[in-house]
Structure formats: C-alpha cells, structure tokens
Amino acid sequence: MGRLDGKVAVITGATSGIGLRTAEVFVAEGAKIVIAGRRVPEGEALAKQLGAACTFRQTDVTQEDQMRALIALAVDKFGRIDCLFNNAGGPAQTGGIEGLEVDRFDAAMATLVRSVMLGMKHAAPYMKKQGSGSIINNGSIAGRLAGFSSSVVYGAAKAAVIHLTRCVAMELGESNIRVNSISPGAIATGIFGKALGLSIEAAERTPAVMREVYKAAQPIPRAGLPDDIAHAAVFLASDESSFVNGHDLVVDGAITGGRNWTQQQQGYVELRKAFDHGT
C-alpha cells in the first residue's frame, strides 16, 4: 500500500531534476499524476515510462490560460486534484543590483512567483469543492538567507514564494486545504549549470560535478539529491501531514544551521596559534 494511494497530483517542472524524480516517487507511492513542462520529448518520454498513472501536458507556467487548463486536465482525467506541487522554476540573472535588466527581472519573477500564484489560484476552487487538498510550493534556502544564490533576483523571488505560501495557507486552511513550501539546500541538479549560462543539455550533465562540489558544504557529508526533495513532497502530499500548514520545510543537511563543527574547531586552533605568537 502506497502513501499516496488514491490521490491525484499535478507536478510542474517535471521534465528534469526535482520534478522528474518527484513524479517517479509519487507514482511509486500510488498516486495518479499530471506532469507539466516545456520540453515535449522529455515529458512524453517520462509519461510513457510511468504508464497509465501519468499524463503529460506541455505548459508555460507563466501563462494563466495554460495553468488553468493544466489543473482542469487533472480533474477531467482523474476526477479530482489532491495535490499541486508548484515546482517549475529556473535560474535568474546573476550579478549585482546595478546591472540588473528589467525585462530579465520581470521574466524571472513570472517564472518563479507568478506561476506559483497561478497554480494556487486555479487549484483552490477544486480543492474547496472536495473539502481537502495539499499545495506544495518549491522555495529555497536562498529565500530564507542572503548569499545562497548567485542571483539576488532568485533569492528575492523565493522569499516571495515562501511568504506567499504562508499568506495563502492562512486563507485556504479554513477550507481544509494545506499550503506548505519546501526549501531545498544544495541539491545536485542542472539548475546551477543553467544559472552559469550552460545550455540545457550541458547543464543536465552537471549533477555529478555538483555532488562532488557540495559534499562538504553542510554537516551531512554529501550533496542533496532530488530524492531528498521528492520524499519531503510525499510527506506533505500525504495524510501524514494533515496538521502541517503554512510551514516551510527546509531540506538542506543543515547548511543554514551555522558554521560546520570542524570548520569552527579549526578556527579555534588558528586563534590559539595567534594567541601563542602574540604572547
């Protein structure tokens, strides 16, 4: 018996990384899913892999008519929508405040924030009619603390997602609809390569590099994996989290917890050497 037996979910940004792995795990846990993405070959291949429990729809999550149609498809095909995972995203312009281009700022905000709003807006009426539902928004530790993204725009957008989640949770919770966010830490996906200007194809080949780069960034001695976020999403989609609402679930191996223990102790060693030298 799966943890999501009988549930219907919509997952955006499902053609790679976190979204792809979440789709696989949701189906393994018994859910029926509708997945969305911009890349048709990848979306259709994943739907074929997952079988009758999965349907793909090409979707630009920044466009209201397409988001409305995506949510309606889940209800038309499977009869209901129990979970929406607003996972779609992407990198934003890097660099300092003086060099930001307004068009690129607006595009990033549309992808990272407007899409989340649209998903919630169009899922809410169906969930209200059912009297239940779980909405999960993909945040980031960059939305909680500065300095965890190469882009100030990305950090600001994710902060908006986290707080928008709380605001909507206070409203929809009264209709027995839970709204939570997940804030990943250093997860080995292609988004880092995309942020640094690599093509989509090249960026999708970088997770192995990221696993090596980030293996010592946090106390847990490995980089985060898409599985880590997928299983957190399963918890928030399942009835196990029926009293969790308005929460930002940080999945980061404690990278935001403070200085790593070994780093701290090495600092004391150097300080002792400085004291000895000074006296």
- Residue length of the chain: 279
**268 given a catalytic annotation:** no
CA distance linking residue 114 with residue 111, whole number of Å: 6
Q: What is the C-alpha to C-alpha distance for residues 34 and 57, in angstroms, rounded to an integer?
A: 7
Q: Which phi and psi angles does 218 have, rounded to 5°? A: -135, 165
| CA angle (161 as vertex; 31, 95 as ends), nearest 5 | 120
| Whether 153 contacts 146, CB under 8 Å | no
Question: Are 108 and 154 contacting, i.e. CB atoms less than 8 angstroms apart?
Answer: yes
DSSP secondary structure letter of residue 240: G
The structure tokens listed for 36 are: 């969305």
Q: If DSSP codes are grouped into helix, strand and coil, which group holds residue 87?
A: coil
Position 264, amino acid: Q
Catalytic residue among 126, 154, 214, 268: 154
| Cβ pair 120, 84 in contact under 8 A | yes
C-alpha torsion angle, residues 29, 34, 35, 41 (rounded to 10): 110
Backbone angles phi, psi at 242, to 5 degrees: -65, -15
Distance, in Å, from the CA atom of 129 to the CA atom of 150, rounded to the nearest integer, reads 42
Active-site residue set: 154
